[in-house]
Structure 1
Amino acid sequence: MHEAMDEWCERWLGSAVSEVLFETGSLSQVAGVELADGREVVVKVRRSAPRLHAAHQVQWRVWQSGYPAPEPLVPPALIGPEHSASAERLIRGGDIGGRGPGDAVRAAEALAWLLRVAPAAAEVEDLSPSPPWVAWDHAGPGLWPAPDRGPEDLNLVRGPGWLDDAGARCRERLGRYRARRVIGHADWHAGNVRWSGDRLLVVHDWDSVVSQPEAVIAGMAAAVFPASEASWRPATVEESEEFLNAYVRSGSRAWTRDDAEAFWAATVWTRAFDAKEESADGPVTSLSEAEAADRLVRAGA
């Protein structure tokens, strides 16, 4: 892949790779590189999909607004028969938030800021399908959408009955919710949201932008905001509630009971999907039946 990336950079960035600074990634291969002309950029390689072009448009519009997203340099362009790569300016450093005092509030305020400056859904190309941990509204025949890792059909995975019940109740509750779709970030965990003191330094992973109702986007974020790759401990019910209260205070409109219930249903869906993937490999430890039940009560589900 290094040779292909070097050729890609020379073609699309006008300069070959001088040094690979880091490599990481899960669903994508991500490399920070220094180019021969001295620029430091991040190149992301992943399976091609039409929604990636819409995600690039969102990142560009958000960056132009002054929001702290990395400057996009190259939209998704082929790097092989089935994969595409894009490039953005490297932003170094930043502290990872978590569950310290004020972390829920600042994470919620940063998300509210993003939704204020993001383009309207009609102003960019189609962002569907949503990533599976957001795709409560998927069009597949079963309860669970196709997973993002591996070919296994989660609908064929034997797991705790309460987990499938929770997923079904989320889908039913969100299916009754009627709200305008907006654009927001659907992977709002601490590793993607970096800080310099109390100042938001940068938000990463713009492939994860989606078009969903605002309450759903906020709920997904409130479920995972303290977690990071180093310590994947999602939010407690109390932390999600603190996030909700801060988010509503940061917004320009009053939330209805319907909005709040959709928020809580969304917190369950994303956690239940992760737990269902977990159940394919062993026991579920990331979500308990009691916590799911508590969140579902709040969701009116």
Structure 2
Amino acid sequence: MSSRADAVDPARLAQWCVEHLGSLPVEEIFRSGHLSAVIGLRLTDNREVVVKIRSDTPRTAACVEVQRRMFEAGYPCPQPLTGAEPFGEDVATAETYVPGGALLPSAGNAARSFAEAFARLIRLAPRPTEVSPLEPAPSWAAWDHVEDGLWPCPENHEVDLNAVAGPEWIDDAGRHARDRLRAGESEAVLGHCDWLAGNLRWSGDALLVVHDWDSMTVDSEAALVGFAAALYSTVSVDELATVEDTERFLDAYGQARGRELGVDERERSWAAGVWTRAYDAKYQAVVGQPITSLSEGEARERLRRSGPDPRRP
């Protein structure tokens, strides 16, 4: 459990629920979280809700706004019950609790199921100009950040990824991916940039619910599809997509939207996938964890599919 979740005071939480939900908690269903404290509660009026507590940033309110719009459009996500309301120095939001569901769709249909769910999300999402600004993007998706150095600052601010040299192949992969993404331009759309299997639940091959709406961001469709294609899983929530899995996702996404990805779109999707996994690999290396998000050989193969290095004549 994260220190943030563990430190939430039950009395303050109960008071917040009364003020913003009109009911006291009578049972804690679960408590978890990483960047946020995520607490499932049963209230005296028998509602089951999830309260999320995190740092107060303009992004939080904007993400709740997008989630509400998606729920109203019929997309399978928890219904927001509040906006971003003060909780001490942080803010908290509440949403309906959606329990159950399988971690993965059936193995043979995983790429198609994940891709169709993502295509529907992109199709139903409001235009970026219709909602409040969502900047800055989460660090693992912030290839176009304006900070100094190659890598953006992680959300927890505990480390400076640019202060530690190497591994050289990770830095090279991130730089190549960033430059390839910068070389293309297309219309910005709204999408989910953390399409991990752990954030989705399934009823057979049908999508039951998508969680983690704090991961909404604005980018090109190609980049957002690339993040999703590199992060989803076909076998386990602990394993990311293989090169072949990513290829199948990109094919299925084109079919789901009714138009195949063009050559430039596809290459930029591969580059975006390299960026997000290289970022995670760099973080793992800097904090002394095993590097599991990307291997040197896989980075080389994914970069090959992203097209020529724009830095080379």
TM-score band by shorter chain is over 0.9
40, 44, 50: which one pairs with 1:32? 40
1:128 aligns with 2:135: yes
| Distance (Å, rounded) in 2 between the aligned partners of 1:246 and 1:276 | 30
1:18 aligns with 2:18: no
| Distance (Å, rounded) in 2 between the aligned partners of 1:135 and 1:241 | 23
Cross-structure match for 2:5: none
Cross-structure match for 1:5: 13
Give deviations 1:103-133, integer Å, cap 9, x for gaps: 0110000000111111001000000101000
144, 149, 165: which one pairs with 1:137? 144
C-alpha contact (below 8 Å) 1:184/1:209 kept by paired residues: yes
Q: Tell me which amino acid in the other structure corresponds to 2:99.
A: R
Q: Quote the offset at 1:99 in angstroms.
A: 8.0
154, 158, 164: which one pairs with 2:161? 154
Give the TM-score of the pair, scaled to structure 2.
0.92
Mapping of residues 134-283 of structure 1, within 5 Å: 134-226=141-233, 231-282=237-288, 283=290
Give deviations 1:37-57, integer Å, cap 9, x for gaps: 111000000111101111111
- Root mean square deviation, CA, Å: 1.5
Counterpart of 1:95 in 2: which secondary structure? coil
Instruction: Specify every segment of 5 or more residues in structure 2 that has no aligned partner in the other structure, as ranges.
Output: 1-7
Sequence identity (%): 47
Instruction: Specify every segment of 5 or more residues in structure 1 that has no aligned partner in the other structure, as ranges.
Output: none
Mapping of residues 107-118 of structure 1, within 5 Å: 107-118=114-125
1:65 aligns with 2:56: no
CA 1:234–1:98 in 2, change beyond 3 Å: closer, same or farther? Answer: farther
Cross-structure match for 1:79: 87
| Distance (Å, rounded) in 2 between the aligned partners of 1:74 and 1:106 | 30
| Distance (Å, rounded) in 2 between the aligned partners of 1:218 and 1:87 | 28
Counterpart of 1:21 in 2: which secondary structure? strand
| Distance (Å, rounded) in 2 between the aligned partners of 1:91 and 1:162 | 41
Q: Tell me which amino acid in the other structure corresponds to 2:249.
A: F
CA 1:250–1:145 in 2, change beyond 3 Å: closer, same or farther? Answer: same
Q: Quote the offset at 1:157 in angstroms.
A: 1.7
4+ long deviations beyond 3 Å:
none
Q: Tell me which amino acid in the other structure corresponds to 1:89.
A: T
Q: Tell me which amino acid in the other structure corresponds to 2:41.
A: V
| Distance (Å, rounded) in 2 between the aligned partners of 1:271 and 1:222 | 11
> What is the aligned length?
299
Q: Quote the offset at 1:236 in angstroms.
A: 0.5
Cross-structure match for 1:104: 111
